[in-house]
Structure 1
Amino acid sequence: MTSSFRLLALGASVLALTTAASAQDNVLQHDDSYYTAAQAELAKKIASQQNVGRAKNVVLFVVDGLSVPTITASRIYEGQSRGVDGESNVLSFEELLPYTALSKTYTHDSQVADSAPTATAIVSGVKSVNGTIGVTQAIQADVCASQKGAEVTTLFELAEEAGLSTGIISTARITHATPAATYAKVAGRDWEADKDLPEEAVQNGCKDIAAQLVDWPAGNGFEVVMGGGRGNFMLESQADPEDETAKGARKDGRDLVAEWQQKHNDGVYVWNKEGFDAIDPAATDRIFGLFNRSHMQYDADREKDAGGEPSLAEMAVKAVDVLSKNDDGFVLMVEGGRVDHAHHAGNAARALIDTVAVADAVKAVYDKVDPNETLIILTADHSHVFSIAGYPKRNNPILGIAGMGDDQKPYTTLGYQNGPGAKLDEPRADLTNVDTTDVDFLQQALVPLGESETHAGDDVVIFAQGPWAHLFHGVVEQNLVYHVMEHATDMANRAALAAK
């Protein structure tokens, strides 16, 4: 489209909007606040232009377990926490990432997915088998011998081969399913350290996930790795720096932290907030941050432990500062991993607080990059059996009481179909004098599952902005996310050219 044609088209759009605005005076409700707000939103959408340039950068936010009810409840919670109307509130990613689609999350072998094959679908473009990472449908779960020939190439590996910088951030263990999908190929998602490998895997030469991260052969390796999971990189004889009574997990004699430091003498290894804060991105080419022996803290608990761990937004911003020094661009995954864990625990408050922390990270990253040359995507791997129910009045606390059941006991707006919130052979608890807004409160559930609530099989949302973000519309297969990212960056061609 020529510049003169664009100007003519824009002029026509402005004229049409002006004419439409004056015509609204004939509509009785034209000055109603909802009506005028919708008219403003319509004008914004009409004026928006599709971006079909090549994406220099990709930032992929994966919020583990972010169901649609979780988005809604977090939106209301965030607004109410700020003392504004929660129902009409807008989370940062809802505003900044305007293109949306629904993603079908089933896997090759299951109606309801786990995080391993769904993350593989997002970063590799194929649906696979529950419990496996970085492999195709040809895999046999937990059988190392079946890995050969079933491995996939991820967008991150293509980016490294093409000369871009890469990074992964997670509030979960960095060897956990979602971040691991960017680099690992395993028939068993639980093979995070060598101690976790079954005898068959040892006999057939399969590597654990932590070892695969340090040994990752793509390009010159990740420029940024930050998250939890420190124990999987440490020897069983090594005391954890935060707790001398806790030891590392490795039995094979490999101190993977020391190996990373020897391999990358241009990098900095940190394990706490003090070390993180001391990093000068301008003078640092690589960061390896492991901030907890296992998963990082929930955001609600991190705030109580002053100086203990960096926030997701802080990690994301520092990652962008380091990665953006590469003129060829970068690919970054940022996972809000503990939304999923809070839901499994039946603890809605922590799930909502961690979702708000992701929204803060999206805003922080958006403000650091050029949105015209950066494809930013936010999506989930799967949903949870989490619901918003009853008929609570507007502005009712989202963590509060929705109404009274036929058993004459109050019930909360938020609840779960199954999980720890239901007790076997016990009547439903009376919540009359219970503070259901307390961060430790576990929402009631229908089916008792003492250890963990389950995932759900409903669709999740994809939010996007930037080059080719408009390709996300309608109802799509989850593995399309990879194909849009690859198309927007032309990454396969760039990697192939770089290899010549």
Structure 2
Amino acid sequence: MLKRIIRPLTLAICVTLLATTVFAGAPKYVFYFIGDGLGPTQRMAAELYNKMETNNPDAKLVMNTFPNTALVTTYSDNTLITDSAAGGTALSCGYKTTNGYLAKLPDGTNVTTLAEAAKEKGFAIGIVTTTRLTHATPAAFSAHNTDRNAADAIAIDQANSDFDFFAGGGYRYFVAKNNKKGLKSKRKDDKDVVKMFADKGYTLFVGDSTRDAFRSYTPKKGDKVFAALAYSHIPYEIARRNSNLKENKIPALSEMTAKAVDSLAAQDKPFFLMVEGGRIDHAAHAHDAASTILDTLAMDAAVKVAYDFYKKHPEETLIVTAADHETGGVGLGISMDSKGYFLNLKALEKVSVSAEDNLNGFYNKLAKKESNLEKRHAAFIKYIESKWGLTDRTESENKVLTDAMNVQDKNQSLPKAEKVSYGYSYTPTMVAVTDLVSQRSRVFWTSFVHTGTFIPASAIGVGAQNFNGFIDNTDIPTRIAAAIGAKLSTDKKTDSKALLGKTYGPQEKYAKIPYNK
């Protein structure tokens, strides 16, 4: 009798162990999504806006449905508030470093990036971003430098990386001066980095005119792709939605992600793909609630591309979503009325342009065209009514706008050092408008820069159970590397734990770095 019980029990245990072993195997396909500046409130605001926009109270961000979640600390080696270079390095290499450093320890030692380690394991590698490709986060996976602003050198590192797929913006640091295509270059040397990619056999999509070709391109085995589709950053998602200009033709982040998946999958080997929603951070710096939300939704649409792939390969795929830091110190529900606490995200539906790319310089351009102050003010009011939905204004709102215009009028005659500005040289009129729109939607900002709050991470797939609880940003790449059997190492043995919290204030070197967000 006992034997009859034990045999089926033993068989059941063996079957269970076998199933567990299969699930616990190394993932063949790894997706790593990084939302620059994407804190928990940004994710929540985007989900609430999506419910409203789709008229579906059950709608959720795809990344918010993943079963494994963690809260992640983000401080860097030299300050409690990280920048994107040190944050990107932590997420890429598993080591804390000094703000401004890319894939290097504070002493300048090179650190192996997760992308490099995966390549050594035979993975095809892809990098996709809505920022310039030489920007901090993509650079932290594909370059090594103690200066995040050394874009000329970063571009060369990327050409030498031999990664399989690049897509994003910033062709200005790759094209040579006086190039035959007539593309504007910002390189300070005579290097033709595009030619470096070409000589290595990459299929090239460089410049605005190549966007349609990129979209229609069908990858095949053996192809490597370099796509720099914009002079600077990829335009905000709000431009794609509302503009009839060329911005509307640029592929969305989800399209670039899908093209990367097609290209990497065509190589018939494992792949690692890092995708950055980079302009979430830029929008939050500018207190642009609408663009912050829409670029978060754009990133989530890219996550859905990976999730659809995962559903076809559930026992071979790992998806991890994270962020380098939170930006703006954003909160929801800044006031209440007789009916209680509430949000009014519907006020953001009337916004049709981004703050940083449009509003920040609008008044100064207007001042050059119109010398009559009364006409200038009237033209500005007409603009914000049309593009920002600021109609039916209260007396106090009108005063805020008038005061901002008066300050900016005075700015016209002042030397640069004496001009009134906010954050990253944001104009008084821009700040007045974005804050009024935010107040109408009941969104509250505490900072123009990064904050030290926890960021959320979520995961699904093979090994996703390792991304739970309270963890540090350096734990994420370490655990991804362990899942695929890759090794993150340096050419100088350094215990990252020994680096934590050496100093908690700005260092002189950090304070002098001219960060370009």
**The residue matched to 1:258 in structure 2 has which SS?**
helix
Q: CA deviation at 1:5?
A: 3.2
Q: Which amino acid aligns with 1:397?
A: N
Is residue 2:291 matched to residue 1:350? yes
Is residue 2:230 matched to residue 1:287? no
Equivalent in the alignment of 1:383: 326
> Contact 2:128 / 2:274 at 8 angstroms: preserved in 1?
yes
Q: Which amino acid aligns with 1:478?
A: N
Q: How far apart in 2 are the matches of 1:251 and 1:236? A: 9
Q: CA deviation at 1:163?
A: 1.7
Equivalent in the alignment of 1:480: 475
Q: How far apart in 2 are the matches of 1:115 and 1:424? A: 26
**The residue matched to 2:249 in structure 1 has which SS?**
coil
Q: CA deviation at 1:102?
A: 0.6
Match of 2:116 among 157, 163, 174: 157
Q: CA deviation at 1:73?
A: 0.5
Equivalent in the alignment of 2:30: 58
Is residue 2:92 matched to residue 1:123? yes
> Contact 1:421 / 1:443 at 8 angstroms: preserved in 2?
no
Equivalent in the alignment of 2:317: 374
Equivalent in the alignment of 1:496: none
Q: How far apart in 2 are the matches of 1:313 and 1:226? A: 12
Equivalent in the alignment of 2:354: none
Is residue 2:44 matched to residue 1:106? no
Where does 1:135-284 land on structure 2 (aligned, <5 Å)?
135-138=104-107, 147=108, 150-193=109-152, 208-216=153-161, 221-238=162-179, 247-264=184-201, 267-271=203-207, 272-282=210-220
Write out per-residue CA displacement over residues 82-131 of structure 1, whole angstroms, 9 at most, x where no aligned residue: 1223xx53111111x21001110001111111010111111111111111
1:98–1:253 CA distance, 2 compared to 1 (3 A): same
Identity %: 30
Q: How far apart in 2 are the matches of 1:423 and 1:175? A: 26
Q: CA deviation at 1:482?
A: 0.8
Match of 1:81 among 47, 53, 56: 53
Equivalent in the alignment of 2:44: 72
Q: How far apart in 1 are the matches of 2:194 and 2:282? A: 26
Q: Relative to total residues, which structure has the larger helix share, 1 or 2? A: 2
Match of 1:93 among 51, 54, 63: 63
Equivalent in the alignment of 2:366: none
**The residue matched to 1:491 in structure 2 has which SS?**
coil
Once structures 1 and 2 are overlaid, which stretch shifts more, 302-311 or 73-82? Answer: 302-311
> Contact 2:344 / 2:442 at 8 angstroms: preserved in 1?
no
**The residue matched to 2:173 in structure 1 has which SS?**
helix
**The residue matched to 1:152 in structure 2 has which SS?**
coil
1:129–1:3 CA distance, 2 compared to 1 (3 A): farther
Q: CA deviation at 1:423?
A: 8.7
Q: CA deviation at 1:57?
A: 1.5
Q: CA deviation at 1:7?
A: 7.7
1:171–1:442 CA distance, 2 compared to 1 (3 A): farther
1:396–1:254 CA distance, 2 compared to 1 (3 A): same
**The residue matched to 1:65 in structure 2 has which SS?**
coil
Q: How far apart in 1 are the matches of 2:132 and 2:35? A: 14
Match of 1:455 among 424, 442, 450: 450
> Contact 1:233 / 1:255 at 8 angstroms: preserved in 2?
yes
C-alpha RMSD of matched pairs (Å): 3.6
Q: How far apart in 1 are the matches of 2:266 and 2:309? A: 13
> Contact 1:261 / 1:269 at 8 angstroms: preserved in 2?
no
Q: How far apart in 2 are the matches of 1:442 and 1:274? A: 39
Q: How far apart in 2 are the matches of 1:3 and 1:188? A: 59
Write out per-residue CA displacement over residues 219-269 of structure 1, whole angstroms, 9 at most, x where no aligned residue: xx1110000010001123238x6xx6x7202232211112211111x5343
**The residue matched to 1:182 in structure 2 has which SS?**
helix
Q: How far apart in 1 are the matches of 2:93 and 2:106? A: 12
Q: CA deviation at 1:325?
A: 2.7
Once structures 1 and 2 are overlaid, which stretch shifts more, 373-382 or 306-315? Answer: 306-315
Where does 1:319-334 land on structure 2 (aligned, <5 Å)?
319-334=260-275
1:254–1:398 CA distance, 2 compared to 1 (3 A): same
Q: CA deviation at 1:409?
A: 5.8
Q: Which amino acid aligns with 1:186?
A: N
Where does 1:378-457 land on structure 2 (aligned, <5 Å)?
378-384=321-327, 385-389=329-333, 390-391=335-336, 396-398=343-345, 400=347, 419=423, 453-457=448-452
Write out per-residue CA displacement over residues 260-319 of structure 1, whole angstroms, 9 at most, x where no aligned residue: 11111x534343321112311236611110011111100111232465311111111111
> Contact 1:170 / 1:337 at 8 angstroms: preserved in 2?
yes
Q: How far apart in 2 are the matches of 1:423 and 1:281? A: 44
> Contact 1:317 / 1:368 at 8 angstroms: preserved in 2?
no
**The residue matched to 2:142 in structure 1 has which SS?**
coil
Q: How far apart in 1 are the matches of 2:231 and 2:434? A: 38
> Contact 1:169 / 1:315 at 8 angstroms: preserved in 2?
yes
Q: How far apart in 1 are the matches of 2:35 and 2:113? A: 19
Q: How far apart in 2 are the matches of 1:84 and 1:186? A: 46
Q: How far apart in 2 are the matches of 1:72 and 1:135? A: 33
Equivalent in the alignment of 1:13: none
Q: Which amino acid aligns with 1:365?
A: A
> Contact 1:128 / 1:137 at 8 angstroms: preserved in 2?
yes
Q: Which amino acid aligns with 2:456?
A: V
Q: Which amino acid aligns with 1:92?
A: V
TM score, norm. by length of structure 2: 0.70
1:363–1:339 CA distance, 2 compared to 1 (3 A): same
Q: Which amino acid aligns with 1:356?
A: L
Write out per-residue CA displacement over residues 128-157 of structure 1, whole angstroms, 9 at most, x where no aligned residue: 11111111132xxxxxxxx3xx10011211
> Contact 2:342 / 2:442 at 8 angstroms: preserved in 1?
no
